[in-house]
Amino acid sequence: MNIQAEKIELAKLLLNTNHPEIIQSIKQIFKKEKTADFWDELTSDQKKEIKTAKKQIMEGKSSDYDSFMSKHR
C-alpha cells in the first residue's frame, strides 16, 4: 500500500471512531512531532560537551577518526 492510501485509511478510521482517547492520542503524536527537537531532550551536561566540542573543532583542536584510532591501537 502506498503512503496516500495509508493516509486515507487512517482518515477513515479516525472519522469512524467515537473514542476520545484515540483522538487525543493522535493529537499528542502530532504535537510531539511538531515540537520534537533532540536538543531539548539533552541534559545540560550533554549540551555543554557538544558546545565545547564544536568550539574545539572551530579552533582546529580536533583530529579525524583514523588518526585518533591509530594512536590507540
Give which of 64, 57, 67 is closest to 49, Cα–Cα.
57
Q: Please, are residues 56 and 62 in contact by the beta-carbon 8 Å criterion?
A: yes
* pLDDT 10s digits, 1-40: 699 999 999 999 999 999 999 999 999 888 877 666 788 8
Model pTM above 0.85:
no
- The predicted pLDDT at position 35 comes to 67
- pLDDT at position 72, please? 84
Q: How many Å separate Cα 47 from the centre of its chain?
A: 15
- End-to-end, the C-alpha distance of the chain in Å comes to 49
Give, as one character, the DSSP assignment of residue 6.
H
